[in-house]
């Protein structure tokens, strides 16, 4: 059993290790890669084998279904994160990123199946993470700058942080579009389900 002094010291050390603001954190490549690695398996576990009614569901208007989001993520693997990282490392600010088509998936996904797209996304993500690892990025590399066609100057660290947050945002979008299918079915419990009101 710990002595009072030891227990107090451990408590103090634990408090010191706890971030003061748990709503923000600095970008860490070592912390981001595990998120990026898990996204394909997360989507596979959630979506594979579901009835089309779930995977074609959306939130109304021009919002995206899980199928649409998956197509978008595939397009990003081909045209956004790693290609833009290479531009920063090879050209810096002297070459502006190629424009990105945020709606390319609607044409590119024609004729594809959800299961096939899950496999495609997993393969592309694994390839891109191997490429990222081979870049052997340093802290100084993360500060290197590129040029976005709309935002202007951006850093490699900001690009990679965006890749991670982008994954999480689209996972949330998929889950929200599915949850909203039961907005009427849950009856009075809707008032307790904040996901249905976003």
93 vs 13, which has greater pLDDT?
93
Phi, psi of 68 (to 5 degrees): -65, -45
Q: How confident is the model at residue 21 (pLDDT cuts 50, 70, 90)?
A: confident
Phi, psi of 34 (to 5 degrees): -60, -35
- Give the pLDDT mean for 156-178: 98
Instruction: Quickly name the fold that domain 26-182+190-197 has.
Output: 1.20.120
Rounded distance, CA 189 to CA 138, Å? Answer: 49
Q: What is the model's pLDDT at position 122?
A: 98
Alpha helices, H only, the chain: 4-17, 29-47, 52-55, 66-79, 81-91, 105-108, 114-134, 139-142, 156-179
Q: Return mean pLDDT, the chain.
A: 91
- Give the pLDDT mean for 13-42: 85
The pTM (predicted TM-score) of the whole model is 0.87
Q: What is the model's pLDDT at position 197?
A: 87
For residues 120 and 74, the answer to whether their CB atoms sit within 8 Å is yes
For 50-101, how does the pLDDT look when each residue is reduced to its tens digit (9 = 90+)?
999 999 999 999 999 999 999 999 999 999 999 999 999 999 999 999 999 8
Share of the chain above pLDDT 90, in %: 86
Q: What is the model's pLDDT at position 19?
A: 60
């Amino acid at each position: 059993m710990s002595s009072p002094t030891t227990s107090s010291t451990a408590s103090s050390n634990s408090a010191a290790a706890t971030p003061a603001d748990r709503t923000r954190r600095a970008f860490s490549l070592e912390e981001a890669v595990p998120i990026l690695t898990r996204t394909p398996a997360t989507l596979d576990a959630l979506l594979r084998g579901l009835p089309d009614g779930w995977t074609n569901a959306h939130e109304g208007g021009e919002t995206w279904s899980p199928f649409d989001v998956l197509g978008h993520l595939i397009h990003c693997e081909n045209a956004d994160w790693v290609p833009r990282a290479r531009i920063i490392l090879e050209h810096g600010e002297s070459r502006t990123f190629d424009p990105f088509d945020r709606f390319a998936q609607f044409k590119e996904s024609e004729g594809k199946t959800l299961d096939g797209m899950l496999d495609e996304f997993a393969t592309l993500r694994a390839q891109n993470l191997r490429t990222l690892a081979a870049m052997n990025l340093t802290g100084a590399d993360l500060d290197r700058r590129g040029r976005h066609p709309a935002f202007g100057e951006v850093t490699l660290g900001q690009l990679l942080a965006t890749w991670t947050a982008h994954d999480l945002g689209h996972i949330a979008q998929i889950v929200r579009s599915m949850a909203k299918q039961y907005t009427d079915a849950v009856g009075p419990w809707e008032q307790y389900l904040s996901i249905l009101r976003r």
